[in-house]
A and B are shown apart, each in its own frame.
Chain A
Amino acid sequence: MKKIGIPRAISYYNNYPFYFGFFNKLGIEIILSDKTTTKTINDGCKYVVSDTCLPIKVYVGHLCNLLDKGCDTIFVPSIQSTGFKINNCSKIRGLPEIIRNIINKPFKMIEPTLDKTEGIGFYDFWYSVANDFEIYDKKLIKSAINEGWKIYNDFHNMTLKGVSYNKALKAALKRKPIEHNDDIIKPLSVVIMGHGYNLFDERISLNIIKKLEKMDVKVFTSLNVTPKEALESIKELGEVQYWANELELTGTSAYYMLKGEIDGIIALSAFGCGPDSLMVDEIAHHCKKAEVPLIHLTIDEQTGEAGFITRLEAFVDMLLRKKRNILTKKPIKIKEYIQNKNIDNIKKEKILAS
């Protein structure tokens, strides 16, 4: 049976449901690398220069893990641009180039390119993958793409309704979509702006989502927003999308900021990350105007859990204090609001009645 190794890093986090559907339909068995551990990071660090950002180090670590497992065909896509002149970060664009030149072991790299600026589209991308496995039947490839979309959409529809990343992924892969039912109202809500590969990798993110939930904070992420909503929110702020992976950051936080439903924004990015520093700055600019607090947490391989928690707690404390202040200082306003609403309702009822 044909096999393909997929490193549990970078594009894995946003696209795995699609990959799963696609490869399964083509009868290609997927071998996943193990979850990120400190060893993964250390392995990755051995191969790349130290200025490389953490997610790429992690990626390399996962690749090593796959090689250790005896996997000899590995999926290393180059996602150059996702729209005309909407480019990705160079390191994601050059993932195969990095891997080719640092890993000295024999294995076959499946390295399709997605580059809409140059006219290499989504279908070209997947056809090239299939062709690498000597599959040329267009009909079959198309149905595999559809299968990919189906699982991806299942997954995303669940997360849009609030199902957590892990639960939604599990359910989507089992093809048994679940409903979300534990919607508890929490005193605070925040949005985390960060790339999927940072946020949903529990080792990289130091489990930030669970930590916040334990502090009784409701967390929103890019998974709760559709790409369309994210893009429109960026436009509404008067900005333009520049980076391919911008929707996860600016798009998501813009969406919630405009909705006015959140108490704060947490930006989580890798130390030395070029695109993120620009995107966070852009949002910070709007946060100031909208008076939404923002904290920017950067992580690298040395980030200690203790300091991380301290900063997180301090931020949450601050948000709580702020919220309490607003609630105690402006009680009348809230009452008015409620009253007005009631009056409106009463009026409406009357009109309806008369």
Chain B
Amino acid sequence: MDSTEKLEKTKMENTIPTKDRVIAWPRMGRIDIPLKALLVSLGAKVIIPPPNSNKALEIGVRNSIEGICLPYKLNLANYIMSLEKGANTLMMFQAPGSCRLGNYTKMAQKTLKSMGYNFDMVIFDMYKSKMKQTLQAFWHVTHCINPWKYYKGFSLGFNKFFAIDTAERLLFYTRPRELNKGDAEKCYEKWLKITDETNSVWEAKKLKKQIINDFKKIPIDKNKNVPIIYLIGEFFVLLDPYTNQNIEKELGEMGVEVQRQIMFGDWLEHVLKPSIFYHKESHRERSVRYAEKYMKRAIGGECIETIGDTVFAAKHGVDGVIHISPFSCMPEIVAQNILPKVSKEEDIPVLSLVLDEQTGKAGYITRIEAFIDLVKRKKIKKINN
């Protein structure tokens, strides 16, 4: 048998009766809210692992080898914590790029089985699969055949995704400008909760508008000189506030507007919608176009996105770029090597931060602060000229 064939076969285990399935998946941004809505609509039971924390990290580190990247360790901890809470079906995502992630599954499966857990692993390739495979995966775990439920589930899921994306974007915009510290954050948390609790498609469709209106009510200083920083880098650390030490919040509080290029909803829409309905240039396509001067080929992971986004940022008046990646991340090490030249030639300040288990918060914040000072000074100079 061809080795890839074998891989495909092991992708969907089926030992647990559908009605007994309790589904869990690793934490990745706020994917839990829409995915939960979808799966519950299809009649499944789900368990959401607690947010990543020192405890989760400790569990992950204890059960994995030293050289493996941070995202794996935390994913593993998410699984263990979900299994402990009664999950028996684990969904594994394969994000874009082809890096160690493919190997992760195999390893996590082995590790968890050797720890004595009983479960089915269902691999969900978010990158290469299109609608058909996606539906297959959901059918596999729920055996739901009612098309109405699929319709409801997907509409709910999508609308919630968009709601969260909107709320996030507005949070990034409002936080550095708010007059009363904490307003934006409160508003965001409130809407996350409402989004999570919404259970009808009709209500979910209204979320986005309501969120926009609500954020508008927050008093802000419209004329404040706010530098814009792009946050780029490896997918997982970008989306996980524990790993990136809540960098978005830190930056917001330093009076900086953050823009993140990987927004989950956008990306999902691109992945899932059949290409005939999707005419926008995808993030990857745009990155390849912008990175062209520096990179002629994609090399796995999100390296080309990192480079493309930096060039894009420079060309669109963004004031600086913060690049974050987990320690020993191979594609991002390549990116780190390329970035100095991009920064110089495109004339945009870039800060590369590497995150690992021991990243101390103090040193990390100092580096960010120093960088933001530089960006602000540069911005003032630009305005004065």
Contact = CB atoms under 8 A, between A and B. Distances in A.
A174 interface: no
A89 B67 contact: no
A57 B106 CA distance: 31
Contacts of A96: 296-297
Contact of A94 (B3, B334, B342, B354): B334
A91 B334 CA distance: 6
Contacts of B296: 96-97, 111
A25 interface: no
Contacts of A242: 102-103, 106
A303 B296 CA distance: 35
B336 to A, nearest CB: 5
Contact of A84 (B4, B65, B66, B102): B4
Contacts of B103: 242, 278
A48 interface: yes
A281 B107 contact: yes
Contacts of B65: 277-278, 281
A49 B3 contact: no
B300 A51 contact: no
B328 A97 contact: no
A177 interface: no
A100 B294 contact: yes
A94 B299 contact: yes
Interface in B61-80: 65-69
Interface string B329-365: 1110110111011100000000010100000000000
Interface stretch (A2-10, A121-129, A268-276): A268-276
A343 interface: no
A48 B4 CA distance: 35
A274 B3 contact: no
B26 interface: no
Given A94-B299, A97-B296, A276 B67 contact: yes
Interface string A64-103: 0000000000000010100011010111011011101110
A139 interface: no
Max chain A CB contacts within 10 Å: which of B3, B328, B337? B337
B31 interface: no
A221 interface: no
Contacts of B301: 90
Contacts of B341: 101-102
A51 B333 contact: yes
A48 B337 contact: yes
Max chain A CB contacts within 10 Å: which of B3, B327, B340? B3
A349 to B, nearest CB: 43
B334 A51 contact: no
Contacts of A102: 337-338, 340-341
A43 to B, nearest CB: 15
A240 interface: yes
Contacts of B352: 49
A101 B294 contact: yes
A102 B338 CA distance: 7
B331 A278 contact: no
Given A48-B337, A49-B337, A274-B69, A87 B330 contact: no
Contacts of A89: 330
A53 B327 CA distance: 12
A84 B340 CA distance: 33
Nearest to B331: A90
A113 interface: yes
Given A100-B294, A276-B67, A277-B68, A90 B328 contact: no
A90 B301 CA distance: 8
20 contacts: A49-B333, A85-B102, A89-B330, A90-B299, A90-B334, A91-B330, A93-B299, A98-B334, A100-B294, A101-B294, A101-B340, A102-B337, A111-B296, A115-B297, A235-B3, A242-B106, A275-B100, A275-B330, A281-B65, A281-B68
Given A97-B338, A100-B295, 10 more contacts: A85-B98, A90-B301, A97-B303, A111-B296, A115-B297, A242-B102, A278-B67, A281-B65, A281-B67, A282-B107
